[in-house]
Chains A and B, each alone.
Chain A
Amino acid sequence: MAVNLKPVDVAVIGLGAAGGVAVLPLARAGLKIAGIEAGTWMDVHTFKPDEIYNNVRALVTSVPKAKREIPTFRTGNEMQARQGANAPMMNAIGGTSIHYHAQSWRYNPWDFKVRSETIRRYGANSIPKGTTLEDWPVTYDELEQYYDHVEYEVGVSGRAGNIAGKIDPRGNVFEGPRKRDFPMPPLRDTDFTDMMTAAAKKLGWKPFRGPAAINSQPYGGRPGCAYHGYCDRGGCHISAKNSTAVTTIPEARKTKNLTIFDKAQVTRIVSGNNGKDGKVTGVLYLREGKEYFQPAKVVLLAGYTYENSRLLLLSKSKAYPKGLSNNHGQVGKHYFGHWDAQAGTGVGALFPFDLNIWYGAIAQNVTVDEFADDNFDHAGLGFIGGATIQVNTEKHPIGAAAMSTWGRAPQWGSKWKAFVRENAGRWVSSYIQANTFPYENTYLDLDPDVKDPLGDPVCRITSGPKENEPRQALYAGQKMEEWFRAAGAIEVTKAQGGGGPALTTHAFGGARMGDNPETNVVDRWGFSHEAPNLGILGASVFGTAGARNPTLTVQALAWRTAEHLAKNWKSLSEP
């Protein structure tokens, strides 16, 4: 029998990038919150400048729960899905924000209305076949204030390109209008970022330094970045990089309204046991072998995309025989993994001189936005959307030595050794992220065969073929080739268009947000169309991917859902 705990106002499942932000407006509004997290506090002393620890063995990100329920993946309905090797998700207080690159983008206004804008500009036939694309029920303008809240709360560095319509070419001229500038200037320039900026300008493009939730100067009681070069898949040793564990969660705890239940693995969200049918009543979780029931007036589900769909599908009841909030069969649908041009060989380049990009951070980058979203004319191209193209600092020695030799040397022996001696510090890859859309042939469900040690099926990803995404990735990859050539590269990998996403840290959908309950799981505020006191946070609710990292949008939406809950507490919580 589960131990019954004292009821709370709100149970938040998962204290990561999304839940870790949502607790702040809730706590400030005076609501009593149980933050239920499968992981625990991470010790800052385990964040090491060590490639084997962070990147090779993935020890920052290897946590038991996530490892026990790695999703399976297949590329068609009739295929047997195979389990991935590494967990894309993370369990910790702070979640994936512990080890993310902290690129903190606002989505382009176009991302929220891809369907209507595409039809308006190119006609209905331009909508990719097989997509389930809908406009978001939220616009950029509505989300602007929440982007602003999060940028100032967690500390985002960057240069505005558009303040209330006033364009500044030093920032991203394609961004939506922002009310005010970033709280901090961008991470510092280097010779490499200067070189790539100059090359892009030579091509007539408008390069800029990307936004990062990394302090470029002291902010929020935390120091400026030390640029030590182990940001990727590592935690920050001085907390210059935001994670919700060092920003919003400690702020929320100051109110005394947030109680954290760590190492607590939620196994079910309970519904329909008392009160009106359809409402959720709380969550069941396991902690050190013991089962607890946490009653709550409202539940906010804030796990990773795969965890969210899985937990909903597992949480069946009388009111929800196919899984919680799934009476319309929409849970797990409209799933998509970020399509990028790196999935194949990627576009890398070799230069005839040392680049010295060993240090820095992925977020210390140069980005070009003209080939993303609808920032260029797509007439005759055969696809919609595009990709941001980007070059980054931060290179590690094993990864550097594992380089392509571009046919200039064999892969081993004395000649290889001479080659890497000269060139390991002279090559760079690129980071290309494409707009990605939901399709009929791409969805999440429960795997019929693979189970976790509790006997619960893991999440299964089915991701069928697409036409639009490979074309846009190829197009952007070719632009990346041009950029490298303009910068003086002597070898450039040919763009492939990507092999498509597998298990990914950029996973979207499965609980899409929209006004129509027939095709969406949550409403425009992030609350279930079916279970009115269940909110869902994270990229699970996204309807399109955006051509850039999703976390800031996740956090802006989480803030908005939490604020909506606090403002409408009576109607959303009444039994």
Chain B
Amino acid sequence: MPEEDNSLNVTRRTVIATATFVPLAAITAAAQAPATALSAGQLKTLEAFIDRLVPQDENGPGAVECGAANYIDRALAGALAAEKGAFLDGLAGVDTLARSAHNAAFADLAPEVRDELLTTMDNGAAAGFPNARPFFNRVRRLTLEGMFGDPYYGGNKNFAGWDLIRYPGPRLAVAPEDQRMSTPPKPYRRSAYGTGANNGR
């Protein structure tokens, strides 16, 4: 009979085990480097892009320093492989826009010039780049994921994204004091998968 054991059956032992230990899943240290999707040139364009979305400044590391490009690179080789083609087209579109406007690669432009081009993309006003706006929004969304997601996926380096917005980290058991408004919980800089090197997918 095709019947399997109830793996959800919680015995006293598993309750205690899961509630006590910090890493929920077993830490599966990746033996080899995770797959990536972007060439060095594409990565450079992407970093020049997201560096303007969330720059490094007096409020701390930006998207590049947080490893958001790394997150996106890995995602496109894994969970988001289906959108890799469209994403690469978008990156190429950014460079084409830069060359037609300023005769230079996007990554070689000054920050203010990049801001100008990104603004036209954001406004859907980038000449000859019909998908500029959806692509801009997609990069912005993935940058948020790379900055504020679990470091397991390759971004949020040193928990800088979580520190920025004072997200106190994924505790497995939360005490009443940790839900107080007057005394915010102490930052708990851990990945859901262990102390937190960027090993994941």
B174 CB to closest chain A CB (Å) equals 4
**For residue B25, which residue of chain A has the nearest CB?**
A45
Contact assessment for B149 and A417 in the assembled complex, using a CB-CB cutoff below 8 Å: no
Residue-wise, chain A 258-280 has the 8 Å CB interface mask toward B (1 for contact) of 01111110000000000000000
Interface string of B142-175 (1 = CB under 8 A from A): 0011011110110000000110111110111110
Cα A131 to Cα B193 in complex, Å, equals 51
Tell whether, in the assembled complex, residue B8 and residue A56 are in contact, meaning their CB atoms are under 8 Å apart.
no
Q: Is the Cβ of A229 less than 8 Å from the Cβ of B24?
A: no
Contact of A356 among B1, B10, B118, B180 (CB under 8 A): B180
**A360-B174 in contact given A192-B179, A238-B15, A263-B2 (Cβ < 8 Å):** yes
Q: Please state if A41 and B15 are interface contacts (CB–CB under 8 Å).
A: no
Chain B CB within 10 A, most for which of A44, A262, A417 = A417
Residue count of chain A within 8 Å CB distance of chain B = 72
Cα separation A51 to B166 with both chains bound (whole Å):
16
Is B115 among interface residues, defined by CB-CB distance under 8 A? yes
The smallest beta-carbon distance between A450 and chain B, in angstroms, is 18
Verify if A195 is at the interface (C-beta below 8 Å from B). Answer: yes
Interface size on B, residues (CB 8 A): 60
Out of B8, B140, B176, which one reaches A245, CB within 8 Å? B8
- Contact A228 B148, CB 8 Å, known A262-B3, A356-B185, A411-B140: no
Q: Is B95 an interface residue (CB 8 A)?
A: no
> A226 contacts B174, CB within 8 Å?
yes
Q: B53 interface residue, CB < 8 Å from A?
A: yes
Stretch of B54-62, B97-105, B127-135 lying at the A interface: B54-62
Contacts A50-B192, A52-B149 known; A424 to B166 CB distance under 8 Å? Answer: yes
Asked if B54 and A397 sit within 8 Å, CB to CB, the answer is no
How many A-B pairs have beta carbons closer than 8 Å: the answer is 193
Q: Is the CB of A49 within 8 A of B79?
A: no
Docked Cα-Cα span, A230 to B171, in Å, equals 10
Q: Kindly state the separation between the CA atoms of A138 and B181 in the bound complex, as whole angstroms.
A: 45
User: Which of A188, A249, A353, A359 makes the CB contact (< 8 A) with B181?
Assistant: A353
Residues of chain B with a CB closer than 8 A to A188's CB: 176, 179
Give chain B interface residues in 76-118, CB to chain A under 8 Å: 79, 115, 118
Whether B6 lies near A253 (C-beta < 8 A) is yes
With known contacts A411-B140, A414-B55, A48–B24 Cβ distance under 8 A: yes
Q: List 7 A-B pairs, minimum CB-CB distance, nearest first.
A: A49-B170, A424-B165, A191-B181, A397-B167, A397-B148, A190-B179, A227-B174
9 sample A-B contacts, Cβ–Cβ < 8 Å, listed by A number: A45-B25, A50-B193, A228-B171, A245-B8, A250-B6, A287-B2, A356-B181, A400-B165, A412-B53
* A-B contacts besides A48-B193, A195-B181, A227-B173, 13 pairs, CB < 8 Å: A57-B79, A93-B8, A190-B180, A191-B179, A228-B172, A264-B2, A359-B185, A397-B165, A400-B167, A401-B144, A411-B140, A412-B140, A417-B57
